[in-house]
Amino acid sequence: MLSAKKNQILSEVGSGTPMGELLRRYWHPIAPVLELGRRSVKPVKLLGEDLVLFRKPDGSHGLISRHCPHRGTDLSTGWVDGDIMRCPYHGWAFDSEGRCASQPFEEAGPSGGFRDKAGVSAYPTATLGGLIWAYLGPDPAPLLPDFELFSWGHGFVEIIMTELPCNWFQCHENGMDPVHFEWLHLNGNAVRSSPADPEYVPTHLSIDFLEFEHGFVNGRVVETPVVPPKGTYAGTNDVSEGGILCLWPYTLASGNTIEFRVPVDDRRTLNITWQYSVLPDDVPAGKQDQDEIPFWYGPLTDPDTGEILTSHTGNQDFSAWVGQGAVADRTTESLGRSDKGITLLRRRYFEAMEQVARGEDPPGTVRDPEANVNIQLPLMGKSLYTEGMPRRVFEEKLAARKESGLFGIGGFLTVQAGRPDHLQKEYDDIAGVAQMPAADVD
Amino acid sequence: MLSAKKNQILSEVGSGTPMGELLRRYWHPIAPVLELGRRSVKPVKLLGEDLVLFRKPDGSHGLISRHCPHRGTDLSTGWVDGDIMRCPYHGWAFDSEGRCASQPFEEAGPSGGFRDKAGVSAYPTATLGGLIWAYLGPDPAPLLPDFELFSWGHGFVEIIMTELPCNWFQCHENGMDPVHFEWLHLNGNAVRSSPADPEYVPTHLSIDFLEFEHGFVNGRVVETPVVPPKGTYAGTNDVSEGGILCLWPYTLASGNTIEFRVPVDDRRTLNITWQYSVLPDDVPAGKQDQDEIPFWYGPLTDPDTGEILTSHTGNQDFSAWVGQGAVADRTTESLGRSDKGITLLRRRYFEAMEQVARGEDPPGTVRDPEANVNIQLPLMGKSLYTEGMPRRVFEEKLAARKESGLFGIGGFLTVQAGRPDHLQKEYDDIAGVAQMPAADVD
Amino acid sequence: MLSAKKNQILSEVGSGTPMGELLRRYWHPIAPVLELGRRSVKPVKLLGEDLVLFRKPDGSHGLISRHCPHRGTDLSTGWVDGDIMRCPYHGWAFDSEGRCASQPFEEAGPSGGFRDKAGVSAYPTATLGGLIWAYLGPDPAPLLPDFELFSWGHGFVEIIMTELPCNWFQCHENGMDPVHFEWLHLNGNAVRSSPADPEYVPTHLSIDFLEFEHGFVNGRVVETPVVPPKGTYAGTNDVSEGGILCLWPYTLASGNTIEFRVPVDDRRTLNITWQYSVLPDDVPAGKQDQDEIPFWYGPLTDPDTGEILTSHTGNQDFSAWVGQGAVADRTTESLGRSDKGITLLRRRYFEAMEQVARGEDPPGTVRDPEANVNIQLPLMGKSLYTEGMPRRVFEEKLAARKESGLFGIGGFLTVQAGRPDHLQKEYDDIAGVAQMPAADVD
C-alpha cells in the first residue's frame, strides 16, 4: 500500500516530474520501421509530449514537436520534402535537428526571414529490431542497448501494437509477478475451455527475484504434479538458471516475446509486443530484414460487445491492467507474499528517481560501445530461441494443440488476438508445416 | 422552483448524501434472473457504487465490490468457482458475504495468508418477479415488498432494460404527472400519425392525488367528448376508485407495467420496465416460470440518426426526461396546477430524508412478514389484470388497432421500441390470435 | 503573439463577453431555408445559446430558447401547431416572439393560467440567399446586408454545412492569409498528385490589404513563371482592382464561394459554404428559387480512418484550423510578414469590441434601407460571376481537368468532399456538358 503522493510519483510521466525525468534517461520504441516505410509521417505521443515522426529519403528518421511554431498547425498533416518536414499551412519546414530550414514567404522579403528564432524541439532516433526508438532526455544520450535477442536467427518476428487506456506502471508491475501466470492465463484458460469442469494447473509455492545489470530475473517454485495437466504446463525455474526478465525501464522479456509498456501519457500506454515465434531447429538460420519486420495493430476490445478481449495471453494481461483503473489506486491495495517482486520494483524505481535527481545514471544505462554488442541476457531456456525448437518437440506441441484446443505457449502461436491470417501462413511455410485447419483458439 | 441546494439534495444518490441514505433503505431491482442464468457474472453500478453480481450453483446470487482488495483488478472479469467469486489476476476469491475465501499463493506460505484482513463490501440480494434485487443499507434490512402483481396469472411478462443519461428523480416525477399523458403520448401520437391534421384528444380538467401506505394514487378528470376520438382514449378516474400508482422509492405501476427508475449514479438511470401484457380471459390462468421471464435491452436512440426514439410510450417518456438535461435544473422551472403531484412528491421526499436522518423508517417500509404477502394495490381497473381481458374487448382492440394503426395501450403491445419479434409471437400464440401482419406501429 | 488574456478575449463568444457582444451586433446564417422545409423544427446552437428554430405555415421562422420554461424539456422534440411551437410534455406553446401562447391545463383551471409569466427568449430571423439568418443582439437590429452575390444569375448555388471542433476566430483568420493558398492548397495538391516529384507553384512575393466598409480586400504579388505550371495557377492581384474579401464578422467571399465561420460556442464552429458554381456565359441567366437551394452536410473525417479529409480546398482549410487545437494558442506563435493581414484583423476586432462597449455600431453595420440593395463588393474578376464564364474558357478548363486530374478552382468543382452525385449532374445538365466519367478527384 502506498500513499497517494507516492502513487502519483509512480504514475506521472510528464517533463519535470520525478518519474518523467527518470524515463527520459532511456530509449523508447515508438513505431515499427516498416510503418514509416508505408507512410512517411506519423503523429506520436510519448511521455505526454506531442511529436511528429517522419522518414527521410535515406531511411533515417526525424522526431520533432507536432505543432508548427508559426501558427500552431499540426505538422503531421504536412509532408516530407527532401530531408525536411514541411508544414502544410505556409510551407515552413524543419530538419530532424529541429532547425527551421525554410520560411518561403519570409525569405522572399527584405529581412530574409527569421529561421534562427523558429526552431522546434527535436529528439534523436535510432532503429533496432525493426523498431524506431527515441530519446527525449538530456545530452549525452546513453546507448540504445543491443540485447542479444535482436540478433537471433531461429524465429519469425512480428510487432504488435495496442494502445491501452491505463497508466504504464501497473502494466510494468505485471513483469515482476510470476503468480499471475497461474491464474490469469492458465487457470483462466482452463475455465474458458471447460467452464463446468476446469482442471486447475499446479500451484505456485514460492517466487524469487534476482537483480542484474539490466533488470530482474523472475524465478518460481511450482508444485510438481503427479499427473501433468492437459495442455501447457509452466514449471519451476531458479533465478540462478535464468528466467523471465523484467528490464529497465518497462520491458518484459521471455524470449518468446519482448513486451514494451511505452508511456503515452499519464493515462495511456502503447503496448508494443515484439513476438519471436521459434522455428524448428532444422530450418536454416537467418535474420529477417529489419526494415521489413511485419507489424499489426491488435484490438483491445471485441467490436461486437465492446468488452475487452481475453482470448489470448496478452489480452488477458490488458484486461487485468485496464481493470485496475486508468491509474491504479495503490492506496487501497493489500499486498502479500505474491507481491514481493512488485514491492522490490517500486523501491528500486524510487531509488532510481533519486539517482537521476542527483545527476547520476539510473540502472540499465549503457554507455560503453564495446560492451553494447549482443548483450547476453539470463533468459530461461535460452537455447530454444538461439538454436530453434527440436523438430520432435515442435511436432509434439502441434499434436497436443490439435488435441486439446488449448491456447499454447510454444512459440508458434500469437500472444494477442487479431493476427492477420497471412502471418500464420508465412510462419507455417517457413516452419514447414501444413496449414492447420483452425489457426487459433478463438 | 427550487433552490440550487435543494435541487442538489434531490439529485445526489451517493453514500452519505441525504437522498443516498434514503434510497439505501429500499430494495433495488438490478438485473433479470434470466440474465444471470445466461452469464454468471455481471458488473453492476447502483447508487454510485461499483459492484459485481454473480450467480452461485444453487441459483442464489452474490453482490460484492467490483474491485479486488488485493491489487484492484475488476472482479467482473473473473469467474464463479463453486460458491465463490474468483479474481482472475491471482485467484483470490470472495463469498457472497464479502469474506475472502481464498488467497492461493498466500496460503501456500508460512503465514497461511491473511484472509480476515481482505474482505470486500457485500450486499444481500433476493429475487421476485423475475428480477434480482439488492439492499445497500444498514441492518436490519426491511422486507422486499411482495406486491400482488408479481402473483398475477393472466398476463405475459417481459422485462425491458434501458440506461438513460439523466438523473433518476426527474424520471420519477413523471409518475405524479397525469397531464403529460394527454400531450406527450396521445396528442404526440396523433401528430406523428397525421401531422397535417392531428386530432387532439379530450383535455384534462383536473388532477388529484391520494397518499397511501406504499405511495400515491393518481386521479384525473378528463373532458367527456361528444364523439370519442379515434384509437385509444384514457378517461377520468377518481383516486377513491384507484388509479395509476407512484410507489416508493421510484416506481410507477399501471398494471400493464411496473416501471423502476433505478439510480445508477447522479447522472444515469437504469429504467427497468416489467411489462404485463394481459391475456384474453379464456386463456387458462398460470404464472410464468420466474427464472425464465424473458428480458431485452431496449434502445434509447435510433442508430441511423442518433436521435432519441419517440415511437412508443416509454420512449416518449425517455425523450422528455433526457430533454430536461443530465440533472434537471429546477431553479428555472415554472410550476403550475399540473405540477401539484410533483410538488407533493418533492415535499414528501424531503420529509422522508429527515425521517431517515432521525433514524426512522421511511414511508413504504415493510417489516411485518405476515403483512408482506400479496400486498393489494389500489390500481385502477384491476380486474383486467387479475382476471384477464374479456375476449370480446380483446378482439375489438385488435380490430381497432388494425384500422387506426395507432399505437395502443391495450395491454398487448410493447411500451418500448425494439421488442424481439419472437416475444410478440409467443404472446400471440398464448393469446390464441393469428400473427398480425405488422407487429407494431414502427 | 498575444497574451493569454487577449487570446481568451478573441475566442469567447458567450453573452456578456467582449467578443460575444460584438458578434451579437451582426446577423448569423443558421440553416438552409430548404432544410426547414423538410423538417419543421431544428435544434440550433449559436454563440453558446441553445435555441430551437421552427418554420411556420406561411414559411417564416421562429427562433426561441430550446428549453421549455415549465419543466425544462427540450422544445425541439415538440411540434409546430399553427404558428406556435408546442412543447411535447404538457402542451405549453410559444410564438415566434417568445410569448407563451398556450398552457392547456393551466387554462382549464380557475386562474386561467399565467402565460404572461412564462415567456422565453426569442430572436428575429430573416432569409436571404437560401439561408435563414438570426440576430441575437439588442434592438434596434441592423439590416441584413444584401450583398450583390445573392442576386447573381449566372451560377448554380448549393449550401454545404460542416461543424468543426475548433474556435471560429482561427477559421476567420484564414481569410486574411493569401500565402496559405500557395502551400495548403496548391503545393499540397501537387504533393498529393505526384508525391515523388511534385511541381511547386510560383511563390508569393508580397501581400497587401485594403480595408473598406464591409471588410478587407486581399491582394498579392506572385512570381511570374517562365513556364506556367500544370493545372490551376492563381496569379497576382492588386487590392485596388479587388480581390478575395474578408467580411465582417466572419465571412470569406471569393465569388466562387462565400464561407461563413458561424460560432456555435467557444470550441465549435459551423462552417457554412455558399458555393456559386459559375455557368458558361451562353446559358440563359436566371436566379434559383431561394427556398429550394440545395444543401448537404459535408463530412469532416474519413469514416474508414477517422482522419480529417484533405482532398478538397475546404477540407484542407478545416484540417489546418482543427490542427491548431480546439482554441489556437496564440501565446506561442511566431508571426512574420505572411501574417500582416492576421495582425490587422485582430487589431480591428479589438477596436470593434471597444466601439461596441462605447455603444457605437461596429464596422460593417448597415442601417440605411436605401443603401442596402444589391451592395456592390470589390471582388476580383467579378464579371466571371455576374456574366458567366466564356464558353471557350469553360471548355479549356474541362479539358485541362481531364488531362491533369488535378482538383481545379474553376467554379465548377465542389470545394468540399462528399457532394451528392445528383448535384454534379444537375450542374452539368444546366451547363450543357456531358457527364464526366470521374466526377471528382477523390
User: Measured on CA atoms in the order A413, A416, A421, A422, is the torsion positive or negative?
Assistant: negative
Q: Which of A204, A171, A166, A215 is nearest to A336 (CA)?
A: A204
Cα distance from C116 to chain B (closest Cα, Å)? 12
The angle subtended at Cα C13 by Cα C11 and Cα C19, nearest 5°, is 75
CA distance A306 to A358: 46
Interchain contact, C108 vs B195, CB within 8 Å: no
Tell me, what's the pLDDT at A398? 79
Q: How far away is chain B from the Cα of C359, in angstroms, using its nearest Cα?
A: 31
- Which residues does C contribute to its contact with B (CB < 8 Å)? 67, 69-74, 77, 79, 87-91, 103-106, 108-109, 111, 113-114, 117-118
**Which of C79, C90, C111 is facing B338, going by the closest CB pair?**
C90
Assigned CATH for A28-135 = 2.102.10.10
- Output the CA torsion C342→C344→C348→C349 (10° steps): 10
Residues A108, C333: C-beta atoms closer than 8 Å = no
Query: Is C105 within 8 Å of B203 when comparing Cβ atoms?
Result: yes
Q: Of C188, C322, C333, which has the smallest distance from its Cβ to A88's Cβ?
A: C188
User: Are residues C334 and A70, on separate chains, in Cβ contact within 8 Å?
Assistant: yes
Which cell is A437 given?
A: 485447419
pLDDT in tens, B406-434: 544 444 568 899 999 899 889 888 988 76
- In a mutational test of the B interface, the residue from C39, C71, C85, C87 whose CB has the highest number of chain B CBs within 10 Å is C71
Question: How far is the CA of B70 from the CAs of A435, B63, B85, in angstroms?
Answer: 43, 18, 14
In tens digits, chain C (442 residues) has pLDDT values of: 899 999 999 999 999 999 999 999 999 999 999 999 999 999 999 999 999 999 999 999 999 999 999 999 999 999 999 999 999 999 999 999 999 999 999 999 999 999 999 999 999 999 999 999 999 999 999 999 999 999 999 999 999 999 999 999 999 999 999 999 999 999 998 898 888 889 899 999 999 999 999 999 999 999 987 776 665 667 899 999 999 999 999 999 999 999 999 999 999 999 999 999 999 999 999 888 999 999 999 999 999 999 999 999 999 999 999 999 999 999 999 999 999 999 999 999 999 999 999 999 999 999 999 999 999 999 999 999 999 999 998 888 877 776 665 544 444 568 899 999 899 889 888 988 765 554 444 4
Cβ <8 Å between A72 and C337 = no
Optimal mutation site among C77, C86, C99, C105, interface B, most CBs of chain B within 10 A: C105
Chain B neighbours (≥3 Cβ pairs under 8 A) are: A, C
Cβ of C74 within 8 Å of Cβ of B183? The answer is: no
- Candidate from C310, C333, C337 with C-beta closest to A105: C337
Q: Which residues of C touch B308 (CB under 8 A)?
A: 77
End-to-end CA distance of chain B: 38
Whether pLDDT at B233 is above 70: no
Find the closest chain A residue to B93 by CA distance.
A183
Direct distance between the N- and C-terminal alpha carbons of chain C, in angstroms, rounded to an integer: 37
- Does residue A409 surpass a pLDDT of 50? no
Least CB–CB distance from C72: residue in B184, B325, B339: B325
Contact C85/C73 with Cβ under 8 angstroms?
no
d(CA A318, CA A309): 8
Closest Cβ opposite residue B90 in set A179, A195, A324: A179
Closest residue of chain A to B75, computed from CA coordinates:
A323
Nearest by CB to A90, which of C183, C206, C316?
C183
Query: Where in chain B do CATH 2.102.10.10 domains reside?
Result: 28-135
Chains with 3 or more CB pairs under 8 A to chain A: B, C
Evaluate if residue A232 carries a pLDDT over 80: no
Mapping DSSP to helix (H, G, I), strand (E, B) and coil, where does residue A128 land?
strand
pLDDT digits (tens, 9 = 90+) for B385-405: 999 999 998 888 887 767 665
Alpha carbons B245 and B341: distance in angstroms, whole number: 12
Q: How far is A66 from chain C (nearest CA, A)?
A: 10
Instruction: Please tell me which residue of chain A has the smallest CA distance to C198.
Output: A81
Read off the C-alpha cell for C44.
Answer: 440550433
Looking at the complex, report in whole angstroms how far the Cα of residue C70 sits from the nearest Cα belonging to chain B: 5
DSSP labels, B244-289: EEEETTTEEE-SSEEEEEEEEETTEEEEEEEEEEEPBTTSPP----
Quote the minimal CA–CA distance from C366 to chain B in Å: 37
User: Do B279 and B151 contact (CB within 8 A), yes or no?
Assistant: no
Q: Do B338 and C87 touch (CB under 8 A)?
A: no
Check C89 against B333: CB less than 8 A apart. no
Question: Would you say residue A401 has pLDDT above 80?
Answer: no
Identify the residue among B105, B115, B163 best suited for mutation to test binding to A, counting A beta carbons within 10 A and taking the highest.
B105
Q: Which residue of C has its CA nearest to B191?
A: C79
Q: Architecture of C148-384 per CATH?
A: Alpha-Beta Complex (3.90)
Question: Would the pTM of this model clear 0.90, i.e. be above it?
Answer: yes
CB contact under 8 A, A109 and C337: yes
Question: What does DSSP say about strands A100-102 and A251-253: parallel, antiparallel, or unpaired?
Answer: unpaired
Q: Are A158 and A423 spatial neighbours (Cβ–Cβ below 8 Å)?
A: yes
Grid cell 475455465 is found at A191
Interface with chain C: mutation pick from B236, B334, B335, highest number of C CBs within 10 Å = B334
| Dihedral (CA of A24, A29, A30, A33) sign | positive
Distance, in Å, from the CA atom of A104 to the CA atom of A89, rounded to the nearest integer, reads 11
- Break chain A down into helix, strand, coil percent, rounded to 5: 30, 25, 45
Query: What average pLDDT does the segment B343-355 reach?
Result: 98
Instruction: Give B92 to chain A, closest Cα distance, Å.
Output: 9
A142-156, A167-181, B75-89, C192-206: segment of lowest average pLDDT: C192-206
Separation between Cα atoms, residue A201 and residue A198, nearest integer Å:
9
pLDDT at residue B266 is higher than 60: yes
pLDDT in tens, A278-320: 999 999 998 889 999 999 999 999 999 999 999 999 999 999 9
Boundaries of CATH 3.90.380 in chain A? 148-384
Distance CA C433, CA C427 (A): 9
C334 vs A69, A77, A79: nearest CB: A69
Exposure of A311 in the CB half-sphere (CA atoms within 13 A):
17
Dihedral of the alpha carbons of B105, B106, B108, B110, in degrees to the nearest 10: 150
What single-letter DSSP state applies at residue A243? B
What DSSP state is assigned to residue B242?
Answer: -
Residue type present at position C433: V
C-alpha distance from C73 to closest chain A C-alpha (Å): 31
Mutate to test the interface with C, among A39, A55, A71 (most CBs of C within 10 A): A71
Asked if residue A311 lies in contact with residue A193, where contact means CB atoms within 8 angstroms, the answer is no
CB pairs under 8 A between A and B: 87
DSSP string of B10-47, one letter each residue: HH--STTSHHHHHHTTSEEEEEEHHHHHH-SEEEEEET
